[in-house]
Amino acid sequence: MKKILNAPGAYVDEMLDGFVAAHPQYYARPEPRVILRADGASEGRVGIVTGGGSGHMPVFTGYVGRGFLTACAIGDVFASPSAEQMATAIRLSDGGAGVLRLYGNYGGDVMNFDMAGEMVEMEHDIATTTVLLADDIVSAPKEEADKRRGVAGMVYAFKIAGAAAEAMADLGEVTRVAQKAADACRSIGMALTPCIVPQAGKPTFELGPDEMEMGMGIHGEPGIWRDTLKPADAIVDEMVDRLLADQSLGRGDRVSVLVNSLGATPLEELYIMYRRVKQRLDGEGIDIVMPLVGRYATSMEMTGATITTLALDGELETLLQAPAECAYWRVG
């Protein structure tokens, strides 16, 4: 294992030390594993909380900020935060208008967030709601979409829910638009290399030097096929074909597209991929609004990429383009 660290057990806490020290205008750290907006909760504004394992920066902690999330509970690399850490994030996010729990569909996160919600509702009378992201189309068939994993689509949901909360919408309305955004997202990924979890010290899976895997999850969950590395256009064509088949987009539709590095894939290669995505969607008569290309939801140093489409209507497009700011994404 070659990593820039002091000790595997200190990896997350030392990362958070540097993270908050580098961006004090955006982030506060009231508890060791909780990141809060630097300006805290606001009276009468719905709080939005997420949580999940480390190793995916900027998800989850990076999207705390104005027009985004209020707080985030963070666990060890690829491990869920505890229910108590999640409950603390909820308490700190409450401005009297309730708190939305907005996070990916993973068993440990669901169990702990459910416990955290029960804790704060009983102890502090805080109203909470939940929206789960389940945008990874290869992790379960379409008829079992509620079993799918949440991946990079959560970035869009954070932005849209955050815009509604910043406009002082009530908890029911913030929850509604967050669910609408979650339902409008589809994602698919591919990988060329594994990553190494510091505490494990070895790769999460193995791929041959000339191999790729289509559909791999952000923790190394198995994909749908493994074969010799294909040219960029062939890779993107399959990803776009699968996204279009799952979402039934067509001529005149408007989408935002996120081409996301899983950690090690450079921007140059992401732009080669986006070039082909745009060619394909142009050919289908689908308009792209506010495309995103870069590192938005990673998997440590994994080489690979995800493509996410967010189907837009007038409401979602307005919320997507509303002003927002964190260290990793500024709009307006």
How far is the CA of 320 from the CAs of 33, 52, 157, in angstroms? 28, 23, 9
Give the three-state DSSP class for 205: coil
Which residue among 23, 37, 45, 56 is the active-site one? 56
Q: What angle do the packed helices 171-183 and 153-166 form, to 10 degrees? A: 160
Which residue among 45, 101, 219, 295 is the active-site one? 219
How far is the CA of 314 from the CAs of 21, 253, 260, 289, in angstroms? 38, 11, 25, 12
124 is catalytic: no
Alpha helices, H only, 284-324: 314-320
Query: Among positive and negative, which fits the CA dihedral 15, 16, 21, 25?
Result: positive
Cβ atoms of 93 and 49 within 8 Å: the answer is yes
Alpha helices, H only, the chain: 11-22, 83-93, 107-124, 153-166, 171-183, 232-247, 267-283, 314-320
23 is catalytic: no
256, amino acid identity: S
Half-sphere exposure (CA, 13 Å, Cβ side) for 94? Answer: 17
End-to-end CA distance of the chain: 41
Half-sphere exposure (CA, 13 Å, Cβ side) for 308? Answer: 32
**Cβ contacts of residue 294 below 8 Å, gap of 6+?**
260, 261, 267, 270
How far is the CA of 196 from the CAs of 2, 57, 202, in angstroms? 9, 15, 5
Q: How many CB atoms lie within 10 A of CB 243?
A: 22
CA dihedral 284, 155, 261, 291 (to 10 degrees): 40
**Which residues are the active-site residues?**
56, 219
